[in-house]
Copies of this chain bind each other. A is one copy, B any other.
Amino acid sequence: MSKSGFSGQRTPALRADARRNREALIAAARELFAEQGLETPLDDIARRAGVGNATLYRRFATREELIEAVFHDLLDEGLRTGEEARRGEDAWSALVGYMEGIFEGLAANRGAIELMTTAVPAGPTLAELRRHNHETVSELVRRAQEQGAMRADVTAEDLLFGLAALGRCVPSAAAVVPGSWRRHLALLFDGLRAEAARPLPAPPLTFRQLEDALADMAAPRGRAPQG
């Protein structure tokens, strides 16, 4: 984490023990978020980290901050992966590979999924990642269409929506049969090939609409995830 592009600057030289606690909290949160999702009780996280609950509050004033910290690496890595994908010659392959990489990370992580299907309360880093992700996908979609691999009547938003839908199911599928999501991802992509083109019954979502829809998914019972 310390040598990643994003992080490092923000923490003004934390004391050794504090740093240890911080790391312990993040580690505990990472585990529990992965196992149980982003709504895990904060007290549980503190307990697993072996610190008092107030320590958690001192380090992370809000749940969002903790989430942001926990997923910093993942997100960071996401940026790198995105950049790399954009450099691919064959846009279609790059896109598929990019997505496989992401799903690989999601497969064992409920929290990451919730994050991916959540536009709402997750701080600037995540927003940045989402933006970057959208850019990556947009560019690859455009190029894949130019290269004749992807059907011309779909948009990046179509793909992103499908991926969000699938992504939400990945951990559960992976829990039952580890690699099974690869098959469903492949089927999703098969519907987006040039050869698969058929008239579509409704216009695509705009990016804004997509974000709103994802945000909505993140708010069970109309309220934000409680934190």
Binding site for B on A (CB under 8 A): 35-37, 39-40, 110, 154, 158, 161-162, 164-166, 168-169, 171-173, 175-177, 179-180, 182-184, 186-193, 195-198, 200-205, 209, 212-214, 216-217, 220-222
* Chain A interface, DSSP helix/strand/loop, else mixed: helix
CB-based contact B172/A187 at 8 Å: no
Closest 9 CB pairs of A and B: A191-B191, A172-B216, A36-B221, A183-B202, A190-B191, A172-B217, A165-B165, A182-B201, A176-B213
Cα(A39)–Cα(B221), bound, Å: 8
CB-based contact A196/B191 at 8 Å: yes
Query: How many copies make up the complex?
Result: 4
Cα(A175)–Cα(B220), bound, Å: 13
Contacts of A166 in B (CB 8 A): 162, 165
CB-based contact A169/B169 at 8 Å: no
Contacts of A182 in B (CB 8 A): 201-202
Cα(A180)–Cα(B184), bound, Å: 21
Contacts of A190 in B (CB 8 A): 191-192, 196-198
